[in-house]
Chain A
């Protein structure tokens, strides 16, 4: 069993970074939701805030790495133009998909949307992390702000989830070798 360099980069982008982000979300959203007055002893709440700060900053960093690697390392391989006259397009995923009417939508809708919308997730995740770092334990008293952060954070998660699903399906339809 061997992996090509492209497959390893794609796995790191989609599974290690993307998967890591999605896994971290469940823990961070629970801590953010549970930061309510009286829900935890002061010492436990302080620890939760520390974990939340570190976790959300890590998620923002991971999301930025994911979109940068996706855009500047993997996407050029995906959209590379085949030499004129080449009939076997297996090594040129974009052209392979577009040439097949049954698969073209994976590029025309799936990839075209994924490559753009993915960038919303790190922007939103960074804003949430910045607010959490700035306000820290004060978030316990700020129910309204906490609610808004949960909504933005969840939106970033939904976007990341959609992008991950599209990435998996597109890779299945046109693997990157």
Chain B
């Protein structure tokens, strides 16, 4: 990857917030799928793997799309990196919580 546009922090902010979106997506999809049987069935892309296949595939797609959209918006922009990072960290922590089985139980 070239060091182009390294004078602004937008591309870094996009990568950081994009990763937060990906983590949040995984947590949200996991909790939702464990609470809604129809969604769990729909996310079973691979029978031997079960719903985990769809949950993780969907989260990875959302992560990559989110990153791409943010990057296209911010590639020439100087962002408030502190705020972006705080938002990303909150999303990562919420996403992590969403992968915890005791959290799924709350929504059962």
Contacts and interface: CB of A to CB of B under 8 A. Distances in A.
A138 B3 contact: yes
Contact of B6 (A126, A135, A155): A135
B59 interface: yes
A91 interface: no
Contacts of A80: 48
Interface stretch (A3-11, A21-29, A30-38, A70-78): A70-78
A51 interface: no
B101 A135 contact: no
Contacts of B99: 113, 116-117, 120
A172 interface: no
Interface in B49-82: 49-50, 52-53, 55-56, 59-60, 63, 67, 81-82
Contacts of B101: 108-109, 112-113
SS class of chain B's interface: helix, strand, loop or mixed? helix
Interface of A: 67, 71-72, 75-76, 79-80, 108-109, 112-113, 115-117, 119-120, 123-124, 126-127, 130-131, 133-138, 142, 144-145, 148, 151-152, 155, 159
Interface of B: 1-3, 5-6, 9, 11-12, 15-16, 18-19, 22-23, 26, 30, 46, 48-50, 52-53, 55-56, 59-60, 63, 67, 81-82, 85, 88-89, 92, 95-96, 99-102
Contacts of A159: 96
B1 A148 contact: no
Contact of A119 (B2, B46, B56): B56
Contacts of A126: 19
25 contacts: A67-B56, A75-B52, A76-B49, A116-B55, A117-B96, A119-B26, A119-B56, A119-B60, A120-B23, A120-B96, A120-B99, A123-B26, A123-B60, A123-B63, A124-B19, A127-B18, A131-B11, A134-B2, A134-B5, A135-B3, A136-B6, A148-B85, A151-B85, A151-B89, A159-B96
Contact of A72 (B18, B22, B49, B85): B49
A100 B95 CA distance: 30
Contacts of B1: 130, 133-134
